[in-house]
Amino acid sequence: MGLVSPNLPDLDVEEWRAKPRAERTKALQQHWATNGFGTPYAVYLLYVLKIGLYMLGGLLFAASTPGIGGLGDLSDWWNQPVVFQKVILWTLMFEVLGFGCGFGPLTLRFLPPIGTFLYWLRPGTIRLPPWPDRVPLTRGSRRTIVDVVLYLGVIAAALYALLAPADRLVTGLNGDGFAILEPHRLVPLAVLLPLLGLRDKTIFLAARAEHYWVTLLVFFFPFVDMIVAAKLIMVAIWWGAATSKLNDHFPYVVATMLANSPLVPPFLKPFLWRDVKEDVTPSPYARFVAHAGTVVEFGIPLVLLLSTGGWLTLVALLVITLFHLNILSAIPMGVPLEWNVMMMFGAWVLFGEYSDYGFGDVTQPLLVYGLLALIVAAVAWGNVRPDQWSFLPSMRYYAGTWATSVWLFRPEAEEVYAQKIAKAAQLPQRQLARLYPPEAVDLMMGKLGAWRGLHPHGRAMAGLYPHAADDHEDRLVLDGEMVAGSAIGWNFGDGHLHHEALLAAVQERCGFAPGDLRVIMMESPPMGRPVQQYRIHDAATGLIESGEVDVAEMISRQPWDGSLPFRVVARTDDSAR
């Protein structure tokens, strides 16, 4: 691996191409187990630079607040509540502009490395309304000038608040005086973002609204209630994420993520697996790391919530910082990097500087605990009915229980897609062809499929290829994340963004014949029922098969073994398969 050259397996590529898909995937999964994606060093430098620019941007917006002081006085003002407010606003804008989650090569986005505003400022691109049959004026999948204006309004509203002075004077618990943002300066952003989300759920999710927009709402609360409510939001995020990891999927996530970490020495990576050649399942060590992380994510936030300063709070803050640094340093696929920085900063401000603000200090319990109840309801709903709710407001972060999809294009169908979909970026294999020779492109595209297969649901997908198309060996098989990145400009693990609604929008534009495009869609398993439901759609004719598979069957097999016992619930006559 060099500065721009990926670390790829040493294979006879022509011989490798001639093998069945399962054997091709096996070779790449064995390579991933000890080398990860094989990311070039320049890509890691790009992400490090991006984190640095994110942090600098937050500091500059905070320092622009009149009266707060310059960057040279950072130690005097970093913990001020208006700084926390502006960092939340800056992070929301950073994400909605596309520089946060879903940015760059580790989301198979190369040329350009960003989607988002290249799509959301362009009329005619695909939008995905969440409830088009229920919410008036949201039908259709074509972006209009109205959507573009709303998106510009969100950016302008964020800038308006970021550049606003801190001219609301408040008093803290100990009689300390603080200057924070006037609530009326936050109204435009608080209103415009969900309004835009009703027209296009992708942008609302890309803003990481379940964290930043919800925290924005508490800036309208009385000051003490604002601090306590912001603490509860962070604890809900930690506990929601920890709860989602109480499953058989998460050890696979940890092993796969750490195998891709640039900071884990190569000689340690084989210890993440039982046998990197023949048993690519998590080792006892990887399982211990996974379960230990879940214990930390449950226990440390409880300590932070209940402690009131002193050495116990300090130790808890150090542990949670190391927890997020571990995730950050792994530079995981999807790259939720800035979010981890924000969680560390928020922990030190809210639980460090305002550790004495507790439940008994709340002045408007209905506001604080009413909002908490809504958050808990959203998380519970998403865990019980994951088919009805995005994994982001469900706070099922990076737990391996994602909904997902695989798109199987006939070669001529991919050509039609390339020509007829309004977009800023082609599918990843076309982007890579501008950077690397064909042999490297095939291996790099295969590595993403290998990554998916190292998770339990990826094992099920491999077994469903023959259900979707008899000629699957001859098709271009793409993870739905890659299709979403090209078609709608953003992808970050939410399989619902590349399920039926996106397929219908693509079919509306491309007019595929029966059999040209098949899509396997898999739902997340509900909590307490380790079963994943799947559907197979033909772009032209609709649903052709539905069924389910047990998670226990997935984890009992190797990722290249497709012999899972699927329970087919319904199957249509399919002469075009």
Question: Could you tell me the residue ranges of all domains in the chain?
Answer: 41-245+338-388, 404-571
Burial of 341 (0-12, 13-18, 19+ CB in 10 A): buried
Residue 377, token pair as written in the block: 């309801």
Rounded mean pLDDT of 479-486? 95
pLDDT of residue 397: 82
CB 225 within 8 A of CB 367: yes
Rounded mean pLDDT of 134-149? 97
Euclidean distance between CA atoms 251 and 263, whole angstroms? 19
- The C-alpha R_g of the chain, in whole angstroms, comes to 24
Rounded mean pLDDT of 402-422? 96
Residue 339, token pair as written in the block: 């979010």
Number of residues assigned to the chain? 577
> Residue 53: is its pLDDT beyond 80?
yes
Which of the residue ranges 61-70, 201-210, 392-401 would you say has the lowest mean pLDDT?
A: 392-401
Rounded mean pLDDT of 310-335? 91
Euclidean distance between CA atoms 190 and 157, whole angstroms? 9
> Residue 1: is its pLDDT beyond 80?
no
CA 185 from chain centre, in angstroms, equals 29
- Per-residue confidence band for 386, with pLDDT thresholds at 50, 70 and 90: very high
Pairing outcome for strands 404-409 and 279-282? unpaired
CA 134 from chain centre, in angstroms, equals 27
Provide the mean pLDDT of the chain.
93
Rounded mean pLDDT of 420-432? 95
- Per-residue confidence band for 39, with pLDDT thresholds at 50, 70 and 90: confident
Rounded mean pLDDT of 68-91? 93
H/E stretch holding 571:
strand 567-571
Residue 205, token pair as written in the block: 């999710």
- Per-residue confidence band for 205, with pLDDT thresholds at 50, 70 and 90: very high
Q: What is the DSSP letter of 104?
A: S
Rounded mean pLDDT of 413-440? 95
List of long-range contacts for 373-379, beta carbons under 8 Å, 24+ apart: 375/214, 375/232, 375/233, 375/236, 376/236, 378/210, 379/236, 379/240, 379/243
Residue 293, token pair as written in the block: 């992380």
pLDDT of residue 37: 87
pLDDT of residue 154: 98
Find all residues with CB under 8 Å of 240, minimum gap 6, and list them: 379, 394, 395, 396, 397
CA 573 from chain centre, in angstroms, equals 37
> Residue 326: is its pLDDT beyond 60?
yes
CA 178 from chain centre, in angstroms, equals 35
Rounded mean pLDDT of 239-249? 92
CB 163 within 8 A of CB 184: no
pLDDT of residue 3: 57
Q: What is the DSSP letter of 498?
A: G
pLDDT of residue 41: 86
CA angle 6–262–460, rounded 5-degree value: 75
> Residue 502: is its pLDDT beyond 90?
yes
To the nearest 10 degrees (0 to 180), the angle between helices 41-63 and 337-346 is 40
> Residue 576: is its pLDDT beyond 80?
no
Rounded mean pLDDT of 377-406? 91
Rounded mean pLDDT of 357-385? 94
> Residue 234: is its pLDDT beyond 60?
yes
CB 100 within 8 A of CB 91: yes
pLDDT of residue 335: 79
CB 492 within 8 A of CB 101: yes
Q: How far lies 358's CA from each of 40, 180, 509, 558, in Å?
A: 47, 20, 55, 49
With CA atoms as reference, report the closest residue to 335 among 60, 59, 98.
Answer: 98
Euclidean distance between CA atoms 478 and 428, whole angstroms? 9
pLDDT of residue 108: 87
Rounded mean pLDDT of 341-359? 95
Cα atoms in the Cβ-side hemisphere of radius 13 Å centred on 380:
6
CA angle 407–254–432, rounded 5-degree value: 40
The predicted model scores a pTM of: 0.94
Q: Which of 172-176, 191-195, 382-386 has the highest mean pLDDT?
A: 191-195
H/E stretch holding 5:
none
> Residue 156: is its pLDDT beyond 70?
yes
pLDDT of residue 6: 85
Residue 20, token pair as written in the block: 């069945």
With CA atoms as reference, report the closest residue to 335 among 480, 208, 522.
Answer: 208
pLDDT of residue 2: 46
Other Cβ atoms within 10 Å of 44 Cβ, number: 15
Other Cβ atoms within 10 Å of 219 Cβ, number: 25
pLDDT of residue 174: 84
